[in-house]
Amino acid sequence: MRKLLNEELSRKTVSEFKQSPKTPLVVVLDNVRSLHNVGSVFRTGDAFLIESLYLCGITGTPPNKEIQKTALGSTDTVDWKYFKTTKEAIDSLLQNGYKVYAIEQAENAVTLDKYSPAEGEKLALVFGHEVKGVEQEVIDNCTGVIEIPQAGTKHSLNIAVSAGIVIWDLFLKLNPLLANR
Amino acid sequence: MRKLLNEELSRKTVSEFKQSPKTPLVVVLDNVRSLHNVGSVFRTGDAFLIESLYLCGITGTPPNKEIQKTALGSTDTVDWKYFKTTKEAIDSLLQNGYKVYAIEQAENAVTLDKYSPAEGEKLALVFGHEVKGVEQEVIDNCTGVIEIPQAGTKHSLNIAVSAGIVIWDLFLKLNPLLANR
């Protein structure tokens, strides 16, 4: 099976990206330390057409060389905003009608495979610090918690990998037509 | 919602991991350059109980400090083997009855959302070099190609993120009971 050339991939231009209807999904980074992780989430956000990326607290922001190493230009396409605290970001989302879910391991969390957004729901997902995860007080402000079920010895995925898994899973659930393009 | 403590996560011990039935999935890394990506795939492999990780060509192998930084101990749980060439790894898998799929963008690739393994199928997935992807001659040896459908400007995910997405998706399809634990 012949590999496709770059020009055969139907890649959007930056202006086509900006004008495209988005996956109704905002991704919130709660004090993510690694700039490589931030860049990687930008890149995943480009692939799955997320609406916006909210960078909070110590999370680095573009322009930044380290973010660019893994973002590979997707900081020019994915819309982003900076908030001093994750609480401000979540308050703003809740006021604008979003359901806000922390991606964590918590009591009564719903597992990702069982979670289905309601029709027309506007959704935001909060991913946390590499070691500390999402802060308890941030979780307390959220609509709920979604957990990636894990079966091994660690129960701790890299945050860029977690974001990839959850964004992919919700891209399919929110946008069956896009995935069937 | 209260965050769970580490001791509440039902994490397996190393010996419980070794004795557990695995997701029937071998992951093959075809000349992956970044040791951080290799470590991250180990960590994801631990979370979703993959059968084995085949490291080929220039792909680094444990013990290695850089792999350890992102693997966080999962090199002790996930079974792995080294092959000088990816062709040797694939030949060995095919001879042992595995279906081997490259994760790439190629003519007539099946998209991940549409791919369903047959009941009882033994499956291997090949992920390629950060820039070059999976080599064409490696693809020519595979059973087929699975593509992660992407809608943005890049059509290029980080390899550790790609592996997370595909391993998660197949973990659910291969092991509904595990995901429902």
* Each residue's pLDDT tens digit, A93-117: 999 999 999 999 999 999 999 999 9
Average pLDDT over chain B, rounded to whole?
94
Question: Which of B109, B113, B138, B144 lies closest to A9, judged by CA?
Answer: B109
Query: Is residue A1 domain-resident?
Result: no
Q: Please indicate whether, in this complex, the C-beta atoms of A156 and B44 are within 8 angstroms of each other.
A: no
Give the pLDDT confidence score for residue A7 in this predicted structure: 86
Contacts of B148 in chain A (CB under 8 A): 47, 168
Starting at the earlier edge strand, list the strands of the sheet with B80-83.
B80-83, B50-56, B23-30, B123-127, B99-103, B144-147, B110-111
Q: Please indicate whether, in this complex, the C-beta atoms of A107 and B145 are within 8 angstroms of each other.
A: no
Query: Is residue B132 domain-resident?
Result: yes
* Each residue's pLDDT tens digit, B63-98: 999 999 999 999 999 999 999 999 999 999 999 999
- The letter for the amino acid at B134 is V
Mean pLDDT for the stretch of residues A29-49: 97
Of B12, B106, B154, the CB nearest to A72: B154
Look up the CATH number of the domain holding residue B74: 3.40.1280.10
Query: Is residue B14 domain-resident?
Result: no
Query: Is it true that the peptide bond before B63 is cis, omega within 30 degrees of 0?
Result: yes
Query: Is residue B8 domain-resident?
Result: no
Question: Which of B127, B45, B138, B54 lies closest to B89, judged by CA?
Answer: B54
Two structure tokens written together for B66: 């850089």
Query: Is residue B69 domain-resident?
Result: yes
* Dihedral (Cα; A68, A56, B43, B168), 10-degree rounding: -90
Segments in chain A forming alpha helices (H):
14-19, 35-47, 65-71, 86-95, 136-141, 159-174, 176-179
| CA A117 to chain centroid | 15
Contacts of A44 in chain B (CB under 8 A): 157-158, 161
Query: Radius of gyration of chain B from Cα atoms?
Result: 16
Q: How far apart are CA B74 and CA B40, in angstroms?
A: 9
Range of the domain at B166: 19-176
Give the pLDDT confidence score for residue A176 in this predicted structure: 66
- The letter for the amino acid at A52 is S
Contact B11, A156 (CB under 8 A): no
Give the pLDDT confidence score for residue A31 in this predicted structure: 97
Look-up of token digits 């959302």: B113
Of A113, A151, A164, the CB nearest to B161: A164
Query: Is residue B4 domain-resident?
Result: no
Q: Please indicate whether, in this complex, the C-beta atoms of A4 and B106 are within 8 angstroms of each other.
A: yes
Mean pLDDT for the stretch of residues A4-24: 91
Question: Which of A94, A92, A72 lies closest to A82, judged by CA?
Answer: A92
Query: Is residue A6 domain-resident?
Result: no
* Each residue's pLDDT tens digit, A60-99: 999 999 999 999 999 999 999 999 999 999 999 999 999 9
Contact B48, B71 (CB under 8 A): no
The residue count of chain B comes to: 181
For chain B of 181 residues, list the mean pLDDT of each consecutive stretch of 10: 88 93 96 97 97 98 96 96 98 98 95 92 95 95 96 92 98 71 44
Q: Please indicate whether, in this complex, the C-beta atoms of B4 and A133 are within 8 angstroms of each other.
A: no
Give the pLDDT confidence score for residue B181 in this predicted structure: 44
Two structure tokens written together for A152: 């091994």
Contact B156, A43 (CB under 8 A): yes
Two structure tokens written together for A89: 């970001």
pLDDT at A177 over 70: no
Query: Is residue A80 domain-resident?
Result: yes
Q: In Å, how far is B23's CA from the nearest CA of chain A?
A: 10
Average pLDDT over chain A, rounded to whole?
94
Give the pLDDT confidence score for residue B175 in this predicted structure: 78
Contacts of A48 in chain B (CB under 8 A): 150-152
Query: Radius of gyration of chain A from Cα atoms?
Result: 16
* Each residue's pLDDT tens digit, B153-164: 988 899 999 999
The domain total for chain A is 1
